[in-house]
Structure 1
Amino acid sequence: MRTFLLTVAFAGSLASVSNAAQAVPAGNRNIEQPPIPGASVRRTKAGKTSFDLKFEKVRDLLRDDDALVGKIKKTAAAYGISPIHMVGAIVGEHTYNVDAYDSLQSYYVKAASYAGNSFRFAYKSEDVSDFVQRPEFAECAALDDSYRLWTCREDVWQDRFRGKTVGGTAYPNNRFSAVFFQPFYAGQTFGLGQINPLTALMLSDLVHQKSGYAKLDEKDAVGVYKAIMDPDISLAFMAAVIRKSIDDYRSIAGVDISQNPGVTATLFNIGNSLQRARALRARNAGGATNWPEENYYGWLVNDRLDELEDLL
């Protein structure tokens, strides 16, 4: 089994969970790469490029930028994860979702272009900060941790608003993040880490604790976008996403995914690690052993793992 040496010992949340978690076997569960979504295929064709060329471009960016790799290693250490997980997530995002810029400086320039913009998180005329004060969200009010708070709110949206008419307002049959947190165009993520604004709000407390960055506020959409566009801050949120995924699967499903970058990359891509860990626990109830499987994105990471490890 391939092992990865964690740069620091697990801390914080891992201290309170069971050490009996089963390690996910190394490599891919699927012999062939799972299907790539049509939207990714169309986007890549429209750019007159290919997945192989995009992979090579982001790989070369990492290979040629010692400063960026150094930032990745330092950030990974702060969150108690191996840097290969962050490399895998960056490579996956820039192979399938966006095209990499030629240099890290280009990401800083792009982030600066958002300064001074005026936008908000809202659906039609209702700001999300007002929306979550509705009585349907009362069960979330006592939660003071940003991850649990926004996860609760996302669950309420899913159960009581998505695709339904409430109080005379018809709500789209779409994700909470796409409806309320995309002032530009739905479904997009931003920056080096390709972080969704709702994900950033969820992980605000952890990033504040580990990296010292200011906590985010849903009333300050510009501040949220600054965080996810700035490469340095974005790396912290990337690490936080991966840390939470590992913790969720270990504490909820009794599965250790920390040694399989393809699985952590998959979760970085599809999100909702807490809900997915609960689903895996249910599938394994009664003694069954079902491992989390990589999607097309995570499959690439595991398939090219030796090449990616060389970057570190």
Structure 2
Amino acid sequence: MQRFLLALVTTLGLVFAAGNAMAVTKVPAGNRNAEQPAIPGASVRRTKAGKTSFDLKYEKVRDLLATDKKLVSKIKETASRYNIDPIHMIGAIVGEHTYNVDAYDRLQSYYVKAASYAGNVFDFSYKGEKISDFVNRPEFSVCSSKTDSYALWTCRDEVWQKVFQGESVDGRTYPDNRFSAVFFQPFYAGQTFGLGQINPLTALMMSDTVHEKSGYPELDENDAADVYRAIMQPDVSLAFMAAIIRKAIDDYREYADMDISGNPGITATLFNIGDSQRRARALARKNASGGRVWPEENYYGWLINDKLPELEALL
């Protein structure tokens, strides 16, 4: 009887596991939109100001990757460490340097730019209030139980949105803007750096994962210069890129029962817009009532899928 029960439990466990595996649906390759979604005005204006075009910027970063075999080798190595296809990292780099910034004459010149931050003294703060003091406010006590960096900074970001963003608290009015733009960009709002144009707050979120997988030191919000050095140095920046993409793939599998690992346009989109966990949960809610809503690429991810044969040739 005991053996029978043990066999029954084992069988039910296997059936349950198989059911869960079957529940994960592979997102089809390619774009859901026949035409490229609208490109934001800020990106258009920035490109015009540089007296260039999106086509030229795309061709420039593509050609740089085509001739920089050392960098492509590092991309492959990093992707393998995080168990993702390197095309996802290629897509993120190409998307960022097509729509957000222009590629440098040599992508490796980011090393030089990173070194320039070594002597700079600046911090993450808003009107003299340092981030370390800000997150010690009682409103953030709900986050005190969070042990890993992603859960901790995601919680703090949510508190910002609910309590402080666009509100007056204790006699101080806070801007109606993102947490990352208000506290984590000491030079100007919207600032991102490095191969993947990573936001400092995103880097802090992924700090534990990068430390565990790649062995780089954990980041400290009280050392802004070190955070910028990390996202500016190509080798370290690649690790953060891979961690962000890995998290997006895992989030869609866990919360939306969807496998997006075969669609670089979707992972590029999520790399661009962020909040993969929240978006995966929102998609799951849409699909809960029946039917099937697929995740859609934005203008950025659409380009990656559209140019996929060219980009895969880089690898």
- The TM-score bracket by the shorter chain reads over 0.9
Aligned to 1:86: 89
Instruction: Report if aligned partners of 1:18, 1:251 keep a CA contact under 8 Å in 2.
Output: no
- The superposition leaves residues 1-57 of structure 1 with CA deviations (integer Å, 9 ceiling, x where unpaired) of xxxxxxxxxxxxxx9x94331111110000000000011011101101000000000
Instruction: Report if aligned partners of 1:181, 1:198 keep a CA contact under 8 Å in 2.
Output: yes
Instruction: Report if aligned partners of 1:128, 1:218 keep a CA contact under 8 Å in 2.
Output: yes
Q: Which moved more, 1:92-101 or 1:283-292?
A: 283-292
Computing the radius of gyration over CA atoms, which structure comes out larger, 1 or 2?
Answer: 2
CA shift, 1:157, in A, is: 0.5
Aligned to 2:11: none
2:312 maps to 1:303: no
For residue 216 of structure 2, what is the amino acid of its counterpart?
A: Y
What percent identity do the matched residue pairs reach?
73
CA shift, 1:113, in A, is: 1.2
2:78 maps to 1:46: no
Aligned to 1:7: none
Give the Cα separation in 1 of the matches to 2:297 and 2:303. 9
Give the Cα separation in 2 of the matches to 1:199 and 1:51. 26
For residue 104 of structure 1, what is the amino acid of its counterpart?
A: L
Q: From 264, 279, 286, give the equivalent of 2:289.
A: 286
Give the Cα separation in 1 of the matches to 2:208 and 2:312. 30
Instruction: Report if aligned partners of 2:108, 2:234 keep a CA contact under 8 Å in 1.
Output: no
Q: TM-score of the superposition, structure 2-length normalised?
A: 0.93
- The superposition leaves residues 126-163 of structure 1 with CA deviations (integer Å, 9 ceiling, x where unpaired) of 11111111111111101110000000100111111111
Instruction: Report if aligned partners of 2:252, 2:277 keep a CA contact under 8 Å in 1.
Output: yes
Aligned to 1:11: none
Ranges in structure 1 where 5+ consecutive residues have no aligned partner: 1-14
Give the Cα separation in 1 of the matches to 2:180 and 2:87. 27
For residue 136 of structure 2, what is the amino acid of its counterpart?
A: Q
Q: From 178, 183, 186, give the equivalent of 1:183.
A: 186
Q: CA RMSD in A?
A: 1.2
Greater fraction helix: 2
2:107 maps to 1:110: no
CA shift, 1:192, in A, is: 1.0
Aligned to 2:149: 146
Q: From 185, 208, 213, give the equivalent of 1:205.
A: 208
Aligned to 1:132: 135
Q: What SS does structure 1 have at the residue aligned with 2:265?
A: helix
Give the Cα separation in 2 of the matches to 1:89 and 1:105. 17
For residue 281 of structure 1, what is the amino acid of its counterpart?
A: A
1:143-292 equivalent positions in 2, closer than 5 A: 143-292=146-295
Instruction: Report if aligned partners of 1:162, 1:174 keep a CA contact under 8 Å in 2.
Output: yes
Give the Cα separation in 1 of the matches to 2:135 and 2:152. 11
For residue 261 of structure 1, what is the amino acid of its counterpart?
A: P
Q: What SS does structure 1 have at the residue aligned with 2:72?
A: helix
Ranges in structure 2 where 5+ consecutive residues have no aligned partner: 1-16
Q: What SS does structure 1 have at the residue aligned with 2:77?
A: helix
Give the number of aligned pairs: 297
Give the Cα separation in 2 of the matches to 1:288 and 1:209. 39
Q: TM-score of the superposition, structure 1-length normalised?
A: 0.94
CA shift, 1:105, in A, is: 2.8
Instruction: Report if aligned partners of 1:189, 1:196 keep a CA contact under 8 Å in 2.
Output: yes
Give the Cα separation in 2 of the matches to 1:165 and 1:104. 43
